[in-house]
Amino acid sequence: MKIVIVGSGYVGLVTGACFSEVGIDVVCVDIDQKKIENLNKGIIPIYEPGLEDMITRNMNKGRLSFTTNIKEALKNAEVAFISVGTPPDEDGSADLKYVLAVARECGKHMEDYLLVVTKSTVPVGTSLKVKQAIQNELAKREANIDFDVASNPEFLKEGAAIDDFLKPDRIVVGLDSPRAEDLMKSLYKPFTLNGHPVIFMDIVSAEMTKYAANSMLATKISFINDIANLCEIVGADINKVRKGIGSDTRIGHKFIYPGIGYGGSCFPKDVQALIKTADEHKYELRVLKAVEEVNKNQKLVLFTKIKNYFNGDLKGKTIALWGLSFKPQTDDMREAPSLSIVKNLLEAGANVKAYDPVAIEEAKHHFGDTIAYYDDQYEALIDADCLAILTEWPEFKFPNFRIISKLLNFPAIFDGRNIYDKEEMKNNGFNYFCIGVDTSKDIFKPEASLVV
C-alpha cells in the first residue's frame, strides 16, 4: 500500500515514519523547499525521541521519501493524510486555509479513487468543507473520480509520540463508507494485532472526540492548579491532596500534577477552538472558559512568588531559569509558561539566564538576545540571585544542591513543577517555593533584606 502524508511538521513526520516502519510505502509532502531538502539529507526540523533514527532507517530501506511535488506523490496512492497546521485565528477559531488548500490539490491531481483523511485537528464540520473542495476541483476538470473523506485525529504526546503511535490507547476513525472503512482497517492492522482498539464512528463525532479529549485533559490541569492555589491559602498540601484524590479510580493520577499551567501546540489552541465552535452555535462552554482563564493566571504564579520574595523590586536582579520548553522531551515552546514568565521578568527589570537541554535554539526565536543562554545548567547559576524551575526535565530532579547553594547569590529556589521535597530543601538550607504548598514558615531571611 502507498500513502501520502501532506504536511511534514510534527504530526506528519511522526505519522509518516511510523507507517513506513511497518512496511507501508510513504511519501511525505511539504511546500517548504528548504525543509524537504533538509529531510532528504537526514536533518529533522523537530526534536522527538527516536524519530530521527526511524526516519533515517526507513529512508535507507526505500519506504519513506520526501517531496514538494504533490502531483507526483499522489500517483498510485490509495490514501492521502492531511497533516498541515490549523493555527488559531485572532478570535480563537481554527484557520482551515491550509487544510482546504491540500483538499483542492488532491482534487486537482488525483487520478483514481482516493481516501482523503484529515489528521490535522479540525473543527466539527470540516469534513464537509474538505469534500466540497475536492468535488469542486474535480468538477473543474470534468473528472468523474470516486473519493471518500475520513477523520483520523491524532492523540500523540510530544516526547512520547513514537510509542503513542505504535502502541496507541485507541485509534479513532470517522468515516461514512464501507470502502473507506476497509482501507483504514487494512492500514491500521499492524497496530491492532496486540489488541489496541480501532473505534469507528461517524466523521462529526471523530472530529469532536479530538477536541473533547484535549479539553478534558486541560480541564484536569486547570482544576488541580486552582485547588493548589486554594491549598496554599488554607494551609493544605496539594501534593498530599493530589495523592488522596488520585487514588480514586474514577479520577486517577494522570494530569492532576500542580504546576505553572499547560502549553504546547494542542491544549491552548484546541480549548480556544472548541469554545469558538460553541459560540458559533450560540452555546456557551462556561467550564472551558474558566479552564482557559485559570491557565492564563497560573502562568504568572511563579513570577509573583519571585517578585514578592524580592520585596516587589526585581530591577537589576538576575534570575536563572532551568527549562524553557512547555514540557520535557521536546523543544516545543508554543504557549509555554516560560514565555509569560520571561516577558514579565524582563518588564520588571530583571536579567534572565536560561538553560534547557534541547530548546535553546527554539528559545532564541522567541527571546532573541534579551536573555542569556547556557549549555550547562550550573553555569547558568553563576551570580544569579535565585533559581526557577519551569520544566521538569529528568536531569533537574537530582541536582547537586551544594553546587547550587555555592553559585546562587541567595539560597532561593522557585519550583514551578513541584519536583523537590520541601523538607529536603529546608535541610539543604534553601528558601523553597513551590505550587500549592505554603512554605512561608520555613523561609529565613538572608543577609540582604528580603521580604516574603
| Residues forming the active site | 266
| DSSP label of 93 | P
DSSP 203-251: HHHHHHHHHHHHHHHHHHHHHHHHHHHHHHHHT--HHHHHHHHHTSTTT
Q: b/e for 74-84, b at 16 or more Cβ within 10 A?
A: beebebbbbbb
Contact between 229 and 426 (Cβ < 8 Å): no
Contact between 369 and 354 (Cβ < 8 Å): no
Contact between 77 and 4 (Cβ < 8 Å): yes
Parallel/antiparallel/unpaired status of strands 386-389 and 372-374: unpaired
**Category of 383 on φ-ψ map: left (φ > 0), alpha (ψ -120 to 50) or beta:** left
Give the chain's end-to-end CA distance (angstroms, integer).
64
- Cell numbers 494485532 correspond to 193
Contact between 169 and 155 (Cβ < 8 Å): yes
Long-range pairs for 416-420 at CB < 8 Å and ≥24 separation?
Answer: 416/259, 416/260, 416/301, 416/302, 416/337, 416/388, 416/389, 416/390, 417/257, 417/259, 417/260, 417/323, 417/389, 417/390, 417/391, 417/392, 418/238, 418/239, 418/257, 418/258, 418/259, 419/389, 419/392, 420/389
CA separation for the pair 157, 265 (Å, rounded): 10
Beta bridge partners of 355: 322, 374
- Cell numbers 529528568 correspond to 394
Q: How many CA atoms lie within 13 A of 183 on its CB side?
A: 26
